[in-house]
Chains A and B, each alone.
Chain A
Amino acid sequence: MSLSWAWLFLLLATFPWLLGVDLLSDAMAASGVCLFVSGAAIIAPCRRLRRWQAVLFSACVGFLFESLRPIPDGSLALLLVFIAIYLTSHRDEIRDMPKMFGAAVVVNALGCSAWFIAAGLAHTADVPLLSLHFLGQWLLHLLLATILAVLLLVPLTLVQNFAMDRVGVPQPDEAV
């Protein structure tokens, strides 16, 4: 497979994880929480992919999350693209595992907030965004996003690294 299609190959490898988390949300549907891992999923690719590939990958991850949910178009995808650009130009921020954990938590929390607030803005007619009740909801979602990022980062990275190795994406500079 050509190296320029690495991002798509990586997306296919990542998709089962995203779907898995959606199924987990499904299992928890009665509780009314939406689990989110799309932010953590872009960390490992941002270490190794070239910038344009990372950008494409992040955009697709974002759009996948948005496509089945009533969120304003692009609100999550464009944020992930921005983060991808940042991470690919500051690769030292995700050089080693502890730093990757930190980044995964921050990025996942940011992504989670982005969809939560964007969805809230799209529904202001129904529920006031600035209420204590929804602040609580937001914090709950943030907490779950953080925990999920920590739990799933290692398996996600392993799978994604394996995929990248298969396509022949070079190792990150730091590891060389």
Chain B
Amino acid sequence: MDNNRQGAKASYVALVFFIGLWLILPSAVRRFNREAFAEFQAPALHLVGKGRDLARYWELKSRSPEELVAASRDLARINAALELKLHSLDDARKENIRLREMLRYPQSTEFVTVVARVSIRETSSWWQRIVIRKGRSDGIRPGCPVVFGDRVIGRVSTVHLTTSEVDLVTSPGFRCTAFLEGDDQYHVVHVSGRAGLSLSAPRAVVSIIPLEYNPPAGQIAKVMTTGLGGVFPSGLTLGTLEAGVQSTAEKHMQTGALTPAKELNFIQEVSVLIPKYPTAGEILLTPAGKPEEFR
């Protein structure tokens, strides 16, 4: 036992030494360590996701043929309606490009869409994120916007080889600009995730709302992306502004709570919008990226 204690002392010294080393280690080493452990877990996370899909598959398999026929009929209708819309959208897109070229107006950011299944959710007071089953190998890059339909889910924060972590709109690391529905002046407001109370729905905060802004009477005001920041396309729904907008202590701006667009905790599938060309912020985050080279 005494021998054991003696050895323990040496171990403590070694630990202290290691902590010191850990602190001065280049961040690349720490990043590698983190990455290695994330990759170690990745197959399991994939399995979990696949397992969920399988469960869903068996659940669907157990449905009666009548139900499936009804569902397929509904889908066919939706399909037809969507195809019609798609056609008119194509025309609109062509017209848009023509007008932009005429006005010598920059093309709006173009995106490649990658659909990804959610494998696990990670929430706490300090963060709100999900892990999705697509990663670097699918072309996902940090900072890409993540959406579901026309609703914003969040932004990719970390990318691993086959999985990515997505900061949800309600996560403290998330921020973007938005317009409010019913604001004719198009004031730019600030949306940022806020660590929420446990056992309550996560929230985000809409700040810098001008005092003269009043939500449209009798309806819930939508909060929409501006498209000015070069990350999110314009007009996506971030959520709705909760009633009870409050003025700040100084009484010259207002702040309100944002209810996220999609029930973030039940989402199964998301689309990652990958900008065709890297954004400036992305280049800045790349360790090798020197802004001067991109001027």
- What are 13 A-B pairs at a CB distance below 8 A? A23-B48, A29-B123, A30-B265, A32-B125, A32-B128, A55-B11, A67-B41, A78-B15, A85-B12, A127-B125, A127-B172, A137-B198, A140-B199
Excluding A23-B48, A69-B122, 11 further A-B contacts by CB distance (< 8 Å) are A19-B41, A22-B120, A30-B201, A32-B196, A34-B124, A68-B131, A73-B30, A82-B15, A127-B125, A127-B194, A141-B125
Query: Across chains A and B, which 9 residue pairs bring their CB atoms closest together, nearest first?
Result: A89-B8, A34-B124, A67-B37, A126-B172, A119-B126, A29-B121, A30-B265, A67-B38, A26-B121
Contact A89 B5 (CB under 8 A): yes
Q: Contact check: which of B41, B172, B200 meets A68 at CB < 8 Å? A: B41
Residues of B at the A interface (CB closer than 8 Å) are 4-5, 7-8, 11-12, 15, 18-19, 22, 30, 33-35, 37-38, 40-41, 44, 48, 120-129, 131, 157, 165, 172-173, 192-202, 265-266
Which residue of chain B has its CB nearest to the CB of A86?
B8
Contact A32 B199 (CB under 8 A): yes
Which residue of chain B has its CB nearest to the CB of A92?
B1
Q: Contact check: which of A25, A88, A127 meets B121 at CB < 8 Å? A: A25
Residues of A at the B interface (CB closer than 8 Å) are 15, 19, 22-23, 25-26, 29-34, 51, 55, 60, 63-64, 66-70, 73-74, 78, 81-82, 85-86, 88-89, 91, 116, 119-120, 122-123, 126-127, 133-134, 137, 140-141
Residues from chain A with Cβ under 8 Å of B48 in the complex: 19, 23
Q: How far is the CA of A74 from the CA of B194 in the complex (A)?
A: 25
Q: How far is the CA of A81 from the CA of B35 in the complex (A)?
A: 20
Interface of A is mostly: helix
Contact A137 B8 (CB under 8 A): no
Q: Contact check: which of B12, B192, B200, B265 meets A29 at CB < 8 Å? A: B265
Residues from chain B with Cβ under 8 Å of A15 in the complex: 41, 44
Smallest beta-carbon distance A31→chain B, Å: 5
Q: How far is the CA of A29 from the CA of B131 in the complex (A)?
A: 13
Residues from chain A with Cβ under 8 Å of B124 in the complex: 32-34, 69, 116, 119, 141
Contact A26 B37 (CB under 8 A): no
